[in-house]
A and B are shown apart, each in its own frame.
Chain A
Amino acid sequence: MSVQAAALHASRAAARSRARERWRAALRSKTLLAGVSILGFWIVCALAGARLAPLDPYADDLLATLAPPSAAHWFGTDQLGRDIFARVIVGARDILIVAPLATLLGTVLGTALGLALGYVRGAVDEVASRVIEALQALPLVIVALMALAAVGTSDLTVVLVIGFVFTPLIARTVRSAVLVESELDYVAAARLRGDGTLAIMFVEILPNVLPIAVVEMTVRLGYAIFFVASLSFLGFGIQPPSADWGIAIAENYSLVGSYWWTVLFDAAATASLVVGVNLVADGLAGVFEA
Chain B
Amino acid sequence: MLGFLTRRLLLSLITLAILSVLVFLGGQLLPGDVGRAVLGPLADARAVAVFDHQVGVDRPLWIQYWDWITHFVAGDMGRSFTFRAPVAPFVAEALAHSMKLAALAFVLVVPLGIAGGVWAAMRVGRLSDRVLVLLGQSLGVVPEFISSIVLILVLGVWLRWLPMSADWPEGTPPLAQVRYLILPALPLVLVFFGYVARVARVGTIEALDADYTRTAVLKGLSMPAVMRRHVLRNALLPTITVTASLLGYLAGGLVVIETMFHYRGIGALIYTAARAKDFPMLEAGVLTVGAVYAAASVAADLLAAALNPRLRTAA
Known: A260-B153, A282-B137. A270 touches B143 (CB 8 A): yes
A-B contact pairs, 18 of them (CB 8 A): A133-B15, A134-B16, A135-B22, A137-B248, A138-B286, A138-B293, A139-B252, A141-B253, A142-B255, A142-B286, A230-B144, A233-B145, A234-B256, A234-B271, A267-B149, A270-B142, A282-B134, A282-B137
- Complex: A174 Cα to B279 Cα, angstroms: 35
Indicate if the CB atoms of A142 and B18 lie closer than 8 Å. no
Indicate if the CB atoms of A271 and B142 lie closer than 8 Å. yes
Indicate if the CB atoms of A233 and B143 lie closer than 8 Å. yes
Q: Which of A10-18, A55-63, A145-153 contacts B (4 or more CB under 8 A)?
A: A145-153
A278 interfacial contact with B, CB 8 Å = yes
Indicate if the CB atoms of A229 and B19 lie closer than 8 Å. no
Indicate if the CB atoms of A235 and B256 lie closer than 8 Å. no
| Interface SS of chain B | helix
Known: A131-B22, A148-B274, A264-B153. 14 other contacts (CB 8 A): A130-B14, A130-B18, A131-B18, A142-B289, A150-B26, A150-B28, A225-B141, A229-B145, A234-B259, A253-B152, A257-B157, A270-B143, A278-B138, A279-B138
Known: A146-B286, A223-B141. A137 touches B15 (CB 8 A): yes
- Complex: A278 Cα to B145 Cα, angstroms: 18
B236 interfacial contact with A, CB 8 Å = no
- Complex: A233 Cα to B252 Cα, angstroms: 14
Interface string of A221-251 (1 = CB under 8 A from B): 0110110011001111000000000100100
Among candidates A142, A151, A256, A264, residue contacting B31 with C-beta atoms closer than 8 Å: A151
A274 interfacial contact with B, CB 8 Å = yes
- Complex: A138 Cα to B279 Cα, angstroms: 17
- Complex: A221 Cα to B14 Cα, angstroms: 31
Indicate if the CB atoms of B137 and A145 lie closer than 8 Å. no
- Min CB distance A248 to B, Å, is 11
A31 interfacial contact with B, CB 8 Å = yes
Interface string of A79-100 (1 = CB under 8 A from B): 0000000000000000000000
Interface string of B272-306 (1 = CB under 8 A from A): 01110101001000100110011001000000000
The residues of B that contact A264 with a CB separation of less than 8 Å are 149-150, 153
Q: What number of A residues sit within 8 Å (CB to CB) of B?
A: 48
A212 interfacial contact with B, CB 8 Å = no
- Min CB distance A263 to B, Å, is 5
- Complex: A140 Cα to B256 Cα, angstroms: 12
Indicate if the CB atoms of A142 and B270 lie closer than 8 Å. yes
A275 interfacial contact with B, CB 8 Å = yes
Indicate if the CB atoms of B27 and A150 lie closer than 8 Å. yes
B73 interfacial contact with A, CB 8 Å = no
B23 interfacial contact with A, CB 8 Å = yes
What 6 pairs between A and B have smallest CB-CB spacing? A139-B252, A150-B29, A134-B18, A149-B274, A141-B252, A134-B19
Indicate if the CB atoms of B146 and A267 lie closer than 8 Å. yes
B115 interfacial contact with A, CB 8 Å = no
A249-290 contacts to B, CB under 8 A, are 249, 253, 256-257, 260, 263-264, 267, 270-271, 274-275, 277-279, 282
Known: A31-B134, A135-B22. A149 touches B153 (CB 8 A): no
- Complex: A42 Cα to B196 Cα, angstroms: 30
- Min CB distance A6 to B, Å, is 42
- Min CB distance A133 to B, Å, is 6
Indicate if the CB atoms of A137 and B137 lie closer than 8 Å. no
- Complex: A66 Cα to B264 Cα, angstroms: 31
B1-37 contacts to A, CB under 8 A, are 14-16, 18-19, 22-23, 26-31
Indicate if the CB atoms of A253 and B149 lie closer than 8 Å. yes
The residues of B that contact A270 with a CB separation of less than 8 Å are 142-143, 146
- Complex: A96 Cα to B198 Cα, angstroms: 29
Indicate if the CB atoms of B274 and A256 lie closer than 8 Å. no
- Complex: A138 Cα to B283 Cα, angstroms: 12
- Min CB distance B150 to A, Å, is 6
The residues of B that contact A271 with a CB separation of less than 8 Å are 142, 146
B212 interfacial contact with A, CB 8 Å = no
Interface string of B216-238 (1 = CB under 8 A from A): 00000000000000000000000
